[in-house]
Amino acid sequence: MTIEAIKTGLSIRDISKSSDEVNASIDTSIESQSGVDDNMTIEATKTGLSICEVSKSFGEVKALINTSLEIKPGEFFTLLGPSGCGKTTLMRIIAGLELADTGTVLLSGKDISRLPANKRHVNTVFQSYALFPHLTVFENVAFGLRSRKVHKDEINQRVTEALTMVDLTGMADRLPQQMSGGQQQRVALSRALVNQPEVLLLDEPMSALDAKLRTQVQVELKRLHQRLGQTFILVTHDQDEALVVSDRIAVMNHGEIIQHGTPKEVYERPTCRFVAEFLGAANLISGIRAGNGVETEFGALQVVKEIPWQKGTLAIRPERVSIHDNQPEVNGVKARILDVIYLGSNVELLLDRGFRVRTDTHRLFTQGEEIWLSFPPERLVVLND
Amino acid sequence: MIRNRLTVWYGELVLRKQLARRGSAFLSPGILWLLALLVLPGLVLVVVSFTERGAYGQIEWLFSVDNYKRLIGFGMLGWSADNLAIIWRSIWVAFVTTLIAILLSYPISFFIVNRPPRQRFLWLTVLIVPFWTNMVIRAYAWFLILAPEMPLAKLAVYLGIHPANTPLYPSSFAVYLGMVSMFLPFVTLPLYSSIERMDWSLVEAAQDLYASRVRVFMQAIFPQTKPGLTAGVILTFVPAMGMFVVPDLLGGSKFMLVGNLIQQQFGSSRDWPFGAAISMGLVVLTMISLQIYRKKSKEIEPI
């Protein structure tokens, strides 16, 4: 997909709501202003998507435990976590493909918890794409519009625009099985987007693509989102993907949201071991509080943030550790190099105390060599657990 | 060069010639069987259909198309619609039987697919159990069920649609009942195997794309079940066209189908040439019907 295609593909008309919808949203905003002091927060819940205390069990297995979440309109939000963490369940509850045991889902202020999937203005890009094999690309994309009995001319126009948007102009008459995985994925994307949903759900859409194509599609997806300004919710287990595309990320584990924030927040300031380890590599150092520092097996380490515990863990990213030839002034630790892994753009050192250090230094490292490390206090993250 | 004559066949190193010889050795018994017992008798039937019946029921080798003229109604006493009516009724009965079997099979298949895997086997067995009994015995069993003392007949009397103290057979109702119960598993089993392998994410995608229930069925379920359905339709419609035991026993003398007519010619009437002509007619009709099915099932419009 080229930038030109995005630019020409979608006009402003597509994103603007119909006049009825606009009136309705004006009505609700007037209602919310009358008699409510803190109307900023109300405004936030009245638009966008709010998930309030949603729980879901499958037999004995608790897939989601009292999960609450606010997703702002126009946001690219990612649910990130390992398989079985409940992210897909949460997505399916939003789509109406699963019924929550308790809790509510509000879309633009309306409770959609008990609304069937075919009445929700939410569309999904399925992991398997779920394209109709007996229908052409055009008919696949037109499916939602035909369901809603949109006029023929408008269908033609909107499907053509949607196919242009994902750079599939000449492929309208093909059948899904005549296309590559990447093309099928774009059909699935335009099939969902052509309906101009209030929320677009993406269920691990890149998992079937090869690594190179994946990074390319991620960037395209991000651009498309910026262009359309619609709410995107992505479900993925790939932390790199989450960091690349998202405005905000919610990290999930065992049916709960552990932490959410911007990609930078969750990467740089993880609040717990799980988040620190799940998003890229992390060196974990356990210790006991000693005044404003932490007493560890490597000696006393200074930290910037307040320490909420007596005994706990510090974390530091491998690329945040600095390497010195002589003993540094603060937080210095001596370590022996066990292995040097060449990664192309940088070098990863595996050290004798279980540390991993990543550096782009051009210096030559040899196995068995002793070096000084320092953990900059502002880079040492104090975990809550 | 021996290398050119060698090939690897799924991991086995063999000579090409050897492989071909082995293939034909395995195939020939089946081909001979079909040739001797299906193709040759079929060809004989074609020839016989153009001959004449002798005074004592023997075949007179005088070739004409008289049997086919008779089949479409031109008899010694002028034209009559009797034979054509029988043919039309056969097509109609086979069609209705297939349709009812399809309508019953969808819910049954979905029901069985939704059982836990262990129970599925049990339900499939229940479906097949009647086939462990002879077809004639099963038809006689219907006599018992349709007898005047039984609940079904009593219900019909109570509803005022049937006179008291008479069995529910012979009647077209009894024929359909017998036919559908005879052919139901032939539709249900292939349909079940299609539904079992169905990709449910297509159903979810259709729901997600605002489809109504009818549209979900037509676009997401029906296309996926079509292979099984086609197998079921062929397995039901073709034998139902030629069925004679069930209509004979449950339909009485008035409810004659092509199958009965053919049986009569080869049996009591001793008119093999005419029987052969009717058989040919049946073969042609079956092929035409299947061709129509093939075309129609392709043309189904999206809803």
**CATH number for the domain harbouring residue B82:** 1.10.3720.10
Contact B211 A118 (CB under 8 A): yes
**B32 pLDDT exceeds 80?**
yes
Q: A30 pLDDT exceeds 70?
A: no
CATH of domain A10-268: 3.40.50.300
Helix B272-299 with B258-266: angle, nearest 10 deg: 160
Say whether B205 and A134 touch across the interface (CB within 8 A): no
* Lowest-confidence pick of A363-377, B75-89, B120-134: B75-89
CB atoms within 10 A of CB A340: 14
Decide: A375 and A328 in contact? Cβ < 8 Å: no
Edge-to-edge strand list for the sheet holding A110-111? A61-71, A49-58, A102-107, A110-111
pLDDT of residue A25 exceeding 90, the answer is no
For chain B, which residues lie within 8 Å of any Cβ of chain A, measuring from their own Cβ?
A: 199, 201-202, 204-212, 215, 219-220, 223, 302
The whole-angstrom separation of Cα B149 and Cα B159 is 15
**What confidence tens digit (pLDDT) does each residue in B200-232 have?**
999 999 999 999 999 999 999 999 999 999 999
Task: Give per-residue pLDDT as tens, A80-114.
Answer: 999 999 999 999 999 999 999 999 999 998 999 99
pLDDT of A302-315, one tens digit each? 888 888 888 889 99
| Token pair belonging to B74 | 């031109």
The greatest distance separating any two alpha carbons of chain A, rounded to the nearest whole angstrom, comes to 75
Q: Is the pLDDT of residue A255 over 60?
A: yes
Q: For residue B196, give Cα distances in angstroms to B105, B111, B153, B192.
A: 13, 11, 38, 6
pLDDT for the residue numbered B46? 94
Residue at B33 is within a domain: no
Axis crossing angle, helix A181-193 with helix A152-165, rounded to the nearest 10: 130
Residue A135 to residue B215, Cβ atoms within 8 A:
no
Task: Identify residues of A whose CB sits under 8 angstroms from chain B CBs.
Answer: 95-97, 116-119, 122-124, 126-128, 130-135, 139, 143-144, 146-148, 191-192, 195
Q: Are A132 and A139 in contact (CB under 8 A)?
A: yes
- What's the gap in Å between the CA of B73 and the closest CA on chain A? 45
Confidence of residue A8 (pLDDT cuts 50, 70, 90): very low
| Torsions phi, psi for B127 (to 5 deg) | -65, -35
Name the token pair of B53: 């019946």
Instruction: Find the residue in B nearest to A128 (Cα).
Output: B201
CA-nearest residue of chain A to B201?
A130
The yes-or-no verdict on residue B129 having pLDDT over 90 is no
Q: Which CATH class is domain A287-382?
A: mainly beta
User: Within a 13 Å sphere around the CA of B217, how many CA atoms are in the beta-carbon half?
Assistant: 5
Per-residue pLDDT reduced to its tens digit, B48-65: 999 998 888 888 888 888
Of A118, A130, A195, the CB nearest to B201: A130
ipTM of the complex: 0.80
Q: Over range A180-192, report the average pLDDT.
A: 94
pLDDT of A42 above 80: no
Arithmetic mean of pLDDT, A284-306: 85
Position A352 confidence tier, pLDDT thresholds 50, 70, 90: confident
Lowest mean pLDDT among A1-10, A205-214, A223-232, B234-243: A1-10
Does residue B293 form part of some domain? yes
B300 — pLDDT class (breaks 50, 70, 90)? low
- Model confidence at B302, pLDDT cuts 50, 70, 90, reads low
Asked if A10-268 and A287-382 have one fold, the answer is no
Distance from CA of B211 to the nearest CA of A (A): 5
Q: Please check whether residue A142 is in contact with residue A159, taking contact to mean a CB–CB distance below 8 angstroms.
A: yes
- Cross-chain Cβ contact A130/B212 below 8 Å: no
Domain boundaries, chain A: 10-268, 287-382
Confidence check: pLDDT of A349 > 70? yes
The reported pLDDT for the residue numbered A345 is: 84
Q: Do A147 and B205 touch (CB under 8 A)?
A: no
Give yes or no for a cis peptide into B170 (omega within 30° of 0): yes
Give contacts of B202 with chain A, Cβ < 8 Å: 130, 132
The answer to whether the CB atoms of B199 and A128 lie below 8 A apart is yes
State what percent of residues in chain A have pLDDT above 70: 88
The pLDDT of A195-202, averaged and rounded, is: 95
- CA atoms within 13 A of residue B125's CA, in its CB half-sphere: 5
Residue B141: phi and psi, rounded to 5, are -60, -30
* Interface A:B, Cβ pairs < 8 A: 64
**pLDDT given at position B161:** 85
Q: Is pLDDT above 60 for B3?
A: yes
Is A135 within 8 Å of B202 when comparing Cβ atoms?
Answer: no
Lowest mean pLDDT among B32-36, B129-133, B298-302: B298-302
Tell how many helices (H) and how many strands (E) occur in chain B: 14, 6
Answer whether A29's CB lies under 8 Å from A42's CB. Answer: no
Interface contact flag, A97 B210, Cβ < 8 Å: no
Least-confidence region, from A61-70, A147-156, B243-252: B243-252
Q: Residue A19: pLDDT above 60?
A: no
The counts of H helices and E strands in chain A are: 12, 20
Q: Is residue B115 part of a domain?
A: yes
pLDDT band at residue A20, thresholds of 50, 70 and 90? Answer: very low
pLDDT for residue A308 = 85
pLDDT at A218: 93
Give how many domains chain B has, as a whole number: 1
Residues in chain B with CB shorter than 8 Å from the CB of A192 are 208
% chain B with pLDDT above 70: 97
Residue B301: is its pLDDT beyond 60? no
Mean pLDDT of chain B: 90
Query: Where in the sequence is the domain holding B257, given as residue range(s)?
Result: 74-299
The pLDDT confidence band at residue B95, using thresholds 50, 70 and 90, is: very high
Lowest mean pLDDT, pick from A40-44, A268-272, B160-164, B261-265:
A40-44
Q: Looking at the partner chain, which of B201, B204, B209 has a beta carbon nearest the beta carbon of A143? A: B209
Is A91 within 8 Å of A203 (Cβ atoms)?
Answer: yes
Encoding tokens for residue A167?
């750079």
pLDDT at B154: 87
- Written as six digits, the tokens of B277 are 């002509």
Nearest residue to A285 (alpha-carbon basis) of A337, A333, A347, A349: A333
- Cβ–Cβ under 8 Å, residues A333 and A299: yes
Average of per-residue pLDDT values in chain A = 85
Higher pLDDT: A161 or A27? It is: A161
Which residue, among A98, A121, A147, A199, would best test binding to B if mutated, counting the most B CBs under 10 Å from its CB? A147
Q: Which residue has the tokens 């009397």?
A: B157
